Amino acid sequence: MRLFIAIQFNDEIIDALTGFQSELREQGVKGKFTPEENLHLTLSFIGDFNDPDAVLEAMEESDFRPFDIKLDGVGHFGDLFWVGLSDNPALNAYVKRLRHCLADAGIPFDKKRFSPHITLIRRAEYKYEGEIPVYDVPKGRMKVESISLMRSDRGKHGMIYTEIGSVE
C-alpha cells in the first residue's frame, strides 16, 4: 500500500488552483496537469507500507491543532510547476511533530526537507524554458481543520488518491 499524509483543500483553494491551470493552458503550457481531485499538499510521503492503522496512530499522537494556510507564489523544480504557501510557522511545527511521531513509531518516510508546494503540472513544456507565464498568481486561503492519510493507486489514466482516515 502506497501512503502519504496530506492536507486536502477547500473549494476556494481548488478553484484558485484549477483557474491558474486554465490560465497556464491558455498561455501554451503543455504537460501532465494534476487533476482537480488530486490537488493536495503532501506533509509526509511514506511510500509502500502495509499498516495504515499504525500511521493513523502516529498521526493521532502528533498533537494536530488547526491552523491557516494561504497560497503565495509560484515556481518550478525543473519541469514541475507548483504553487507555494505563505511562510507558516504553525504548519512547519506540525510537520516536525508529525515526522517525529512517525519516526518514533518506526514508520519509514521521505526525510527530504519539507518544502510546502502544490504540484500543478509535471513534465511542463513551454516555449520560454525556465519561466512560468504568470499574470494572476492564484490566491486562496483556508483553515486546516484535519490532516488526511491517503492511499495512492495507479489507475488507467493516472494516480488515484483515496482518503483512508483523518485526524482533526
Confidence of residue 131 (pLDDT cuts 50, 70, 90): low
Q: How many domains does the chain have?
A: 1
Query: Is residue 141 in a domain?
Result: yes
Distance in angstroms (rounded) separating the CA atoms of residues 28 and 127: 8
Is residue 123 domain-resident? Answer: yes
| Mean pLDDT estimate for the chain | 92
Q: pLDDT of 6-46, one tens digit each?
A: 999 999 999 999 999 998 898 888 999 999 999 999 999 99
Quote the CA–CA distance of 8 and 37 in Å, as a whole number.
9
In a domain, 164, yes or no: no
pLDDT of residue 155: 83
In whole angstroms, give the CA distance from residue 132 to residue 126: 8
The β-bridge partners of 108 are none
Phi-psi region of 73 (alpha: psi -120 to 50; beta: other; left: phi over 0): left
Overall average pLDDT of the 78-104 stretch = 95
Give pTM, 2 decimals.
0.91
Neighbours of 20 (CB within 10 A): 24
pLDDT band for position 132 (cuts 50, 70, 90)? low
The rounded Cα 159 to chain-centroid distance in angstroms is: 14
> Does residue 115 lie in a domain region?
yes
Domain membership flag for residue 96: yes
Residue 18 forms part of a structural domain:
yes
Domain range for residue 125? Answer: 2-152
CATH code at 38?
3.90.1140.10
Would 167 be classed as within a structural domain? no
